[in-house]
Amino acid sequence: MNIPKISDAEWEVMKMVWKKSPINSEEIISFLSVKMNCSAPTIKTYINRLLKKGALGYEKSGRSYSYNPLLSEKDCIRAESSSFLEKVYDGAIGLLFSNFIEDEDLSEKEIEKLQKLLENKKKHHLPPETKKK
């Protein structure tokens, strides 16, 4: 699957649609115009660009449309993450982690969750081909 480039502003729209799909433009606009501090027409533009890019689909719903994602959140996050990893870290995932761990606030609980994840990863240590999905 080829993930098209999704701009920063468009990501806001996608995140809403992923969370609340099916969702109509009124909802999108009323929420995002506040969060992004921009006008309704602006958000309409983002929605339209996403339709054109094939990231969103729609169907009639009463007097207006209802939107749904055509790209999975997982896939978009993957694409975005790996381009970030490449751009900033030249692919050095270990470095990425240590920087984030250093810079970001993590609750005790989160730290423990991550430790568990790593423990698991180490145990199974699946070769690349076995990665799920």
> What are the φ and ψ backbone dihedral angles of 3, each rounded to 5 degrees?
-85, 120
Is 46 near DNA (CB under 7 A)? yes
Is 10 near DNA (CB under 7 A)? yes
The partner in contact with residue 97, picked from DNA, its own copies, none with C-beta cut-offs of 5 to 8 angstroms by kind, is its own copies
CB of 133 to its own copies, least distance (A): 9
Pairing of strands 64-69, 56-61: antiparallel
The partner in contact with residue 30, picked from its own copies, DNA, none with C-beta cut-offs of 5 to 8 angstroms by kind, is none
* Dihedral (CA of 32, 34, 37, 42) sign: positive
Is 98 near DNA (CB under 7 A)? no
Is 8 near DNA (CB under 7 A)? yes
> Within 13 Å and on the Cβ side, how many CA atoms surround 72?
5
